[in-house]
Amino acid sequence: LHIRLLEASEAGDRQEELKEIFGPDFLMQRPLLQAIDPTNSRPPVLLIDELDRSDEEFEAYLLELLSDFQITIPEIGTIRAKEPPIVIITSNRTREIHDALRRRCLYYWIDFPTLEKEYDIVLARMPEAPERLARQVCLFVRELRTMELYKAPGIAETLDWLSSLLALDQAELAEGPLRETLGAVLKYQDDILKVGGLDIGKLLQKLRGA
């Protein structure tokens, strides 16, 4: 609408108005700019989740932000944080992150949770699940993670699998429903075939005694 009004204005006024278009009033602040807003009275927390799913151009764009806590916009200038944000970046390693970006970060590896921790997470997210079934699922997933699978199941897969078993009205882990729902916890056919070829009944007996 503003541009339409400019088209109807005189040439001199148009040039002045064009300068205003490339000013702060027309700049949409998304999370990156919000994190370095000079008016912030305290350090904000910026979460960049699953950076490995972005492209390399976005990674390059982050270099200035992470090194100097600023972003340069050609038409406006440099926006610099007075209170540097706390930046948390996560990656699932679907591709490698560039070394230049790694150098600007402190690296921390988050491993799979302990059995008890995962059990607590599962019950917190799905309180309607029978405790016996929830524990057996966590035990079985823990066993899967010891195998040489193409992709070991994470907590999300544990929850998906438990949800599938609940949809089948299961109160405890049984071989038939387990085999039918392997696709909820394993996402590659080779992994499904590998686990499906095991003596599931014997494995369940072992887990029930744990």
Average pLDDT, the chain: 89
Integer angstrom CA distances of residue 198 from 79, 153, 171:
59, 17, 23
- Look at residue 20 and tell me if it is in a domain: no
Phi, psi dihedral angles at 73 (to 5 degrees): -115, 115
Number of separate helices (H) and strands (E) present in the chain = 12, 4
Instruction: Quote the tokens at residue 63.
Output: 């270099």
Judge if 73 and 43 occupy the same domain: yes
For the stretch 128-185, pLDDT in tens is: 999 999 999 999 999 999 999 999 999 999 999 999 999 999 999 999 999 999 999 9
Q: What is the pTM of this model?
A: 0.72
Residue 8 falls inside a structural domain:
no
Residue 18 domain flag: no
Model confidence over 64-86: pLDDT tens digits?
999 999 999 887 889 999 999 99
| Cβ neighbours, 10 Å, residue 35 | 24
Nearest to 51 by CA among 63, 68, 40, 34: 63
From residue 36, how far is each of 20, 32, 42 by CA, in Å? 22, 7, 11
- Quick check: is 40 in a domain? yes
123 plus 59 within the same structural domain: no
139 with 84, same domain? Answer: no
Residues 152 and 198 in one domain: yes
Per the structure, the count of domains in the chain is: 2
Write the pLDDT tens digit of every residue in 21-56. Answer: 666 667 788 999 999 999 999 999 999 999 999 998
Residues 152 and 189 in one domain: yes
- Are 60 and 140 in the same domain? no
Q: Is 23 a member of any domain?
A: no
Last residue of a domain, one of 102, 137, 161: 102
CA gap 175, 179 in Å, rounded: 6
Whole domain around residue 42: which residue ranges? 29-102
